[in-house]
């Protein structure tokens, strides 16, 4: 499947007390509450919540990479 070509992007600047991992878990929970189902990469989706930056933190784990590894490819960043 080819990458998405039409997406309605929005962003938000948040001030949180959560850890990056807890923030990601919370965002995934919100996606699930709105019916997001992850079956295939690059599939059409109604909601996609990402952590782009988290202060000046640099994190590279299997579950979460900060800064977001493709942030420079995103026109809205």
Active site residues per annotation: 36, 45, 48, 50
Cα-based distances in Å from 23 to 30, 36, 51, 74, 76: 11, 17, 8, 21, 21
Return the SS3 of 56.
coil
């Amino acid at each position: 499947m080819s990458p998405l070509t039409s997406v309605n992007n929005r962003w938000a600047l948040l001030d949180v007390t959560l850890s990056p991992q807890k923030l990601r878990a919370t965002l995934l929970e919100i996606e699930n509450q709105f019916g997001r189902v992850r079956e295939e990469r690059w599939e059409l989706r109604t909601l996609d919540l990402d952590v782009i930056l988290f202060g000046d933190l640099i994190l590279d784990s299997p579950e979460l990479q900060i800064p977001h590894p493709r942030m420079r490819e995103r026109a809205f960043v």
